[in-house]
Amino acid sequence: MFRIEISYDDFDGNRVVDTFYFHLSKVEIAELEVSHTEGLSVYLRGLVEAKSGSEIISNMKAIVEKAIGRRSEDGKRFYKNDDIRSEFFESNAWPEFFMTTLTSSTGALEFVKAVIPADLSNKLDENPEFKKELEGVVVASEDPAKVKELDAYTYAELISMSKSDFDNLVGYDSRSWSQTVLKAAFERRMSNRTSSGG
């Protein structure tokens, strides 16, 4: 089980701290395994090989949606339903969680390892190839030349440039983006949705 306290601003501008829980049971992992025709390991490999930032975000969000829930007081049950999912995804906790936890390879790896049962998590540690694949889920090895070029731009510059300038600068393979570029891309996408009413 993964427990995290997330500090974020609510929609009235108040700083709040909420605790969220994430867990996948062996049955849910088996469901994920059979729901993907090639199996879960191939699905996770697909996260690594995803060609676009939106594809990576969509796949990680699917795992988070499946894992989010509420732990019972006595620790014997883990409740999951649409209301709990909505509470999380419709609050500012989701973008905060995404940007601080899921945009780094180690954060994504630790999240996946924490939401699965301990005995399966231990198998990840024993399987260096699978662990290596999983570490690349969000951030694959970066092209040093591209990163150096992007380092010349501030976050504010990345946010304010035109879509075509941004796309030409960073390209479409989000696996090579730094955390700053991922944050800027996410913020730009959210701003576009807000301004277009969607």
Asked which of 122, 138, 154 is the last residue of a domain, the reply is 138
**92 and 76 assigned to the same domain:** yes
Mean pLDDT in residue range 77-89: 95
**131 and 147 assigned to the same domain:** no
Measured CA angle at 60 (ends 54, 63), to 5 deg: 145
Over the stretch 23-61, which tens digit does the pLDDT of each residue have?
988 888 777 767 666 666 666 655 555 555 566 667 778
**51 and 107 assigned to the same domain:** yes
**29 and 57 assigned to the same domain:** yes
Asked which of 117, 138, 159 is the last residue of a domain, the reply is 138
State the pLDDT at residue 148: 42
| pTM given for the model | 0.59
Q: Which residue has the tokens 């936890």?
A: 101
Q: How far apart are the C-alpha atoms of 88 and 82, rounded to whole Å? A: 10
- Side chain identity, residue 16: V
Pick from 5-19, 37-51, 149-163 the range whose average pLDDT is largest.
5-19
Type and span of the H or E element at 3: strand 2-9
**Selected residue with higher pLDDT from 11 and 59:** 11
Q: Which residue has the tokens 């690349």?
A: 136
State the pLDDT at residue 40: 61
Structure tokens at 145: 């030349």
- Side chain identity, residue 52: S
**99 and 165 assigned to the same domain:** no
**117 and 146 assigned to the same domain:** no
Domain that holds residue 197: 141-198
**124 and 155 assigned to the same domain:** no
**88 and 15 assigned to the same domain:** yes
Give the number of other Cβ atoms within 10 Å of residue 168's Cβ. 10
End-to-end CA distance of the chain: 33
Q: Which residue stretches of 38-127 are H helix? A: 40-49, 53-67, 82-89, 93-97, 105-115, 118-126
Q: How far apart are the C-alpha atoms of 94 and 82, rounded to whole Å? A: 15
**131 and 146 assigned to the same domain:** no
Q: What is the number of structural domains in the chain?
A: 2
Asked which of 138, 165, 188 is the last residue of a domain, the reply is 138
**58 and 34 assigned to the same domain:** yes
Structure tokens at 46: 């697909």
Over the stretch 109-147, which tens digit does the pLDDT of each residue have?
678 778 877 766 666 566 655 555 444 443 333 344 444
Over the stretch 171-195, which tens digit does the pLDDT of each residue have?
666 666 777 777 888 788 777 655 6
**79 and 152 assigned to the same domain:** no
Mean pLDDT in residue range 60-79: 91
User: DSSP of 25-54, one letter per residue?
Assistant: -HHHHHHHHHHSTT-HHHHHHHHHH-SSHH
Give the closest residue to 88 by CA, choosing from 108, 106, 64: 64
**98 and 22 assigned to the same domain:** yes
Share of the chain above pLDDT 90, in %: 25
